[in-house]
Structure 1
């Protein structure tokens, strides 16, 4: 299914479902428990999510979304399915907030660690984008290595060259991202930005063992 058709289908479905409550259906994509989701906000969520997964520009994400094989691997490339996921999450999140769950200490801890992870990933991906981007020679060499792999899955071996190129590029970007992340962390450590109270940590570990 073409990405434009997916987009249109999502817009039409939501528009029909709420036509009786809004005359200007083109000004919003969905209304979720009284809150409006605009097309601009939706696209921002959609592309930010997939850029973080594939490390590709928006036009390349659109190409993935137009490929049935890619959508089969990741259903959320389908904008209609992605919209449904946003709706599900927001409905439950709003219910949880209304019942006071956002104040729970465990949830606050999870939000903090998840935020740190997302921010650090985004920072390295954006700040070192040019260094992480594979060169054409690296991609070409990767395709040669892929084709020469005796254990290569026959289905992958039969892929057209453009799909092999995308596969190799994603693998290389992931490898280069991990290398850059380690480099950044080590540089920050060398700058003396980390101090650990090892004795306190040992006591905490010992206390946990004593509880068993």
Structure 2
């Protein structure tokens, strides 16, 4: 075991197999997704493989990239993908990507408004049902933002570790995810309002949550972290 993951140290979180399968199936797409198979490893971790051998290597690397962005350490073999636990390096990368999203694409509401106008206008000209327009525009704008789906992937998964440095990383990620979830919710609400305007205001605003849940709270993780100064080897 390396200091970068808790493989063989922590038990697999409940529901982790299904979360991993969902992420891999989403990345593989509707044609390959049903062929994704997931199972626990005897000593901890998860293995992923595809039933079909066609382009298997390419899909494994796509899946590994998305799983690493979620914070897991992965190893790609010739016939399967191994997920071996939370990685400090990968969690740090996720934190950087979340921060970049907040100061980048999610900071520009004008882009979402313009996209919503263009999508709604094309759909109206194509005869799309006007009552379904806001939900469809919102969904397409959410796909373009990427993060709503990524946050939803981990929604409800208990993310924990017995290693203090990883708990701190998970807490840092939780705080950033909550901010990104709120910002995404604001973008999607804007897209829905724009779509209703394009529809002539005939569609009432539908009741929706404030945005995708992060599935983890910063306070929940930090409460289990000892209140002491970090050594130089575990500092964030």
- TM-score scaled by length of structure 2: 0.27
Greater fraction of residues in helix? 1
Q: Which has the higher strand share?
A: 2
**Relative CO higher for 1 or 2, CA cutoff 8 Å, sep ≥ 6?**
2
Question: Looking at CA atoms only, which structure, 1 or 2, has the larger radius of gyration?
Answer: 1
